[in-house]
Structure 1
Amino acid sequence: MTEGPKDTTVAQEFDPRTSTIVIVTFNRSHLLTRLLASISTMDPKPGHVVVIDNASTDDTTDIVAGFDGKIGAEIVYRRLDTNTGGSGGFSEGMRTAYDLGSEWIWLMDDDVEVVPDGLSRLSAWTPRFRHIQGRRYDYDGSEFYWQYRVSPSLGIPIPFAPAGFDDSGYREMNSGCFEGMFIHRDLVAKIGLPDPRFFIYWDDTVYGYLASRHEPCVIVNEFVLRRTREIKQWDMGTRHLNASSDMYRYYIMRNRGIMRHYYAANGDYRPLAFALGTAATFVKEMIRLAFVERKITKTGWSNLWRGMRDGWQISRNRDFGIMPPLAG
């Protein structure tokens, strides 16, 4: 593992108290408990921890209250009236952190825990980059591989992007992952908040794509998170194909209609190539059903088709506007 860039100005340029961890949670208080406990062991610690509760019906509110004043960072708790999905949660979390004046915003779901020196590992790269993705361990302790490059014309991840790192310790990316995205407020101001209309899926891919259009974005060879929830998957060596759900299958296809508007607004929409990417996404989900979940169900099929139909309708909506920047 690399030690990060050698830069004697890091300590002066990065103040951990100006950073904020944003957590989105929904009815998984047992996992949220582990995450908040891991934050209490961090060194250094962030200034704030924002918890966005997507209208949970379990004891999430009590769990958060129990950690108040005990983790070494100020907890800001927002319970939403309805479940807005991960997309809505991260949009609200980003807005809250931005309004707090946070210089750096670290996003994560509730099913991970933070490596104690994770913030320090990320901060070593802040003099050079403003959008940084750390690595994470999978549930079993293995190295989780995330596809960090996308083809804008196809609108899908590039599966043969190299998994290893060279001596630089980083690889440039043009995608994003809200499971660990570390982003500076200046970049957030330029591209705006995450689009809550995605509900789930493709939201972070598009957000990372937008960030990469402004300045270099990187994934660094630093392990900063550890997954705490076991997910059924097909292990393909350096790649993993995780199990999904009928709801995810619907939004995977439906949200390509939203993606189309973002690529078109930035001059990267190619109708034939994007249609091919949509077909490839459909096939991938069928492979996921067959080889990961080992079932081909009527609801699986119907949700894919329904999502593709609704996505086509969204893509044809000429009144659909993308999220505006926060500044300028």
Structure 2
Amino acid sequence: MSLDRRERFFIVITTFNRVDYLTDLLASVAALTPAPDGIIIVNNASTDSTDSLVATVQGQFAALPRPISVVHHRLAENVGGAGGFSAGVERALAEGAQWMWLMDDDVTCVPGAIGAFGPWMDKYDAIVGRRYDAAGKPFYWQNNFNTFLGFPLPVRGDAFEKSNEFATNVGCFEGMLLHSDAVRGVGLPDPRFFLTWDDTIYGWQISLQRPVMYVNEFVLHKARAQRSIDLRIRHLNDSSDLSRYYVMRNRGLVAQYLRAHGKFNRVGFGLGTALTAAKELLRLVGVEKTLRGSGWLLAGWRESRRILAATDFETMPPMESNV
């Protein structure tokens, strides 16, 4: 028997050692109207009190007038955001999810978010809603993935000036909503990314099969304040040495995915890699007021060369439909 387009709505949260943020997020999930059908919490081997929090929340959600299943999917090691979402999506599918709303632990939900998604859920299989930043202002996120450069380019102006939906070709695991059909079409998110580029490439792959729609509905608040600079056509936020390493290292994986789809251009990709490095250096100087951390960029670039040279690379395989 086929499901209604709005049934079996699951939230998939990936968390690592941020119990305070997770507490606020789960409180906002409890306030959602309508409520989700299930919650998957992927615990990336946290060493704080995350286990205790999840156990408490499981009891609270089970006691609601309309009980909500909370699955604690604890991993033996930290596999990063990419690995966490890969495991979380797989578990959600195993639990029977039709829809999967993916989010990090440092956001909170707008109370009417699920209902706000509704009209687009009837039309699309991959949807990204808008976010407020930690100060309550609209967070800038509008770009398209340029395959010649292997690099996302910002879309100038207001994407919603003429319409409440904007077709993009990238994803964002901080609030992307996916139908199981979209997931099965391209397979699970690739855990090899660990951090960064994973959602960009995942959204791009989906866009090759079906629309990916950015919609004019605010569904999340970013809970973690970040230093940033406004470049008019985009914003640059602060980062970390780990992210700097992976943003360069994963250029190798981006190249391999472009190759697999017949879109790799060595010259263009080299330019895109130079733009990536320049953006990260600007982030260091303009936002973090230092050049410390640039060594991580170089280390990541060296590793990307090894990945790019591999001749046995395989993308994540599509999944069989259960229909």
Output one character per residue of 1:253-307: Cα deviation in whole Å (capped at 9) or x when no partner: 000100111111111111110110000000111000000000012xx12111111
Q: Aligned residue for 1:214? A: 209
- Say if 1:238 and 1:45 are closer, same or farther in 2 by CA, change over 3 A: farther
Instruction: Give the C-alpha shift of residue 238 in structure 1.
Output: 6.5
Letter in 2 for 1:303: W
Instruction: Give the C-alpha shift of residue 321 in structure 1.
Output: 1.1
TM-score, with structure 1 as normaliser: 0.93
Q: CA RMSD in A?
A: 1.4
Q: Aligned residue for 1:150? A: 145
Instruction: Give the C-alpha shift of residue 235 in structure 1.
Output: 2.9
1:15 aligns with 2:6: yes
- Say if 1:27 and 1:271 are closer, same or farther in 2 by CA, change over 3 A: same
Letter in 1 for 2:303: D
Stretches (4+) displaced over 6 A: none
1:98 aligns with 2:93: yes
Instruction: Give the C-alpha shift of residue 161 in structure 1.
Output: 3.9
Contact map agreement 1:145 1:238 (CA 8 A) in 2: no
Aligned counterpart in structure 1 of residue 261 of structure 2, from 261, 266, 269: 266
Contact map agreement 2:149 2:269 (CA 8 A) in 1: yes
Q: Aligned residue for 1:73? A: 68
Instruction: Give the C-alpha shift of residue 237 in structure 1.
Output: 4.7
Aligned counterpart in structure 1 of residue 320 of structure 2, from 301, 310, 327: 327
Contact map agreement 2:184 2:318 (CA 8 A) in 1: yes
Q: 1:134 is paired with a residue of what secondary structure?
A: strand
Distance in structure 2 (CA, Å) of the matches to 1:163 and 1:53: 37
Letter in 1 for 2:305: W
Contact map agreement 1:148 1:219 (CA 8 A) in 2: no
1:239 aligns with 2:230: no
Instruction: Give the C-alpha shift of residue 310 in structure 1.
Output: 0.5
Q: Equivalent residues in 2 for 1:1-328 (5 A)?
A: 13-16=4-7, 18-71=8-61, 72-237=67-232, 239-297=234-292, 300-327=293-320
Q: Aligned residue for 2:64? A: none
Give the fraction of aligned pairs with identical amino acids, expressed as a percent.
44
Q: 2:317 is paired with a residue of what secondary structure?
A: coil
Output one character per residue of 1:168-197: Cα deviation in whole Å (capped at 9) or x when no partner: 301001000000010100111110000001
Contact map agreement 1:13 1:127 (CA 8 A) in 2: no
Letter in 2 for 1:324: P
Q: 1:70 is paired with a residue of what secondary structure?
A: helix
Unpaired segments ≥5 residues, structure 2:
62-66
Letter in 1 for 2:316: M
Instruction: Give the C-alpha shift of residue 222 in structure 1.
Output: 0.2
Contact map agreement 2:250 2:304 (CA 8 A) in 1: yes
Contact map agreement 1:149 1:161 (CA 8 A) in 2: no
Distance in structure 1 (CA, Å) of the matches to 2:274 and 2:220: 33
Contact map agreement 1:21 1:48 (CA 8 A) in 2: yes
Contact map agreement 1:172 1:216 (CA 8 A) in 2: yes
Distance in structure 1 (CA, Å) of the matches to 2:5 and 2:201: 27
Distance in structure 1 (CA, Å) of the matches to 2:316 and 2:156: 29
Letter in 2 for 1:61: D
Output one character per residue of 1:123-156: Cα deviation in whole Å (capped at 9) or x when no partner: 2111111100000000001100113311012111
Which deviates further from its counterpart, 100-109 or 235-244? 235-244
Instruction: Give the C-alpha shift of residue 60 in structure 1.
Output: 0.1
Distance in structure 2 (CA, Å) of the matches to 1:20 and 1:52: 13
Q: 2:130 is paired with a residue of what secondary structure?
A: strand
Distance in structure 2 (CA, Å) of the matches to 1:222 and 1:194: 25
Contact map agreement 2:11 2:38 (CA 8 A) in 1: yes
Instruction: Give the C-alpha shift of residue 84 in structure 1.
Output: 0.3
Distance in structure 1 (CA, Å) of the matches to 2:310 and 2:37: 42
Distance in structure 2 (CA, Å) of the matches to 1:13 and 1:101: 13
Instruction: Give the C-alpha shift of residue 163 in structure 1.
Output: 3.3
Letter in 1 for 2:291: I
Unpaired segments ≥5 residues, structure 1:
1-11
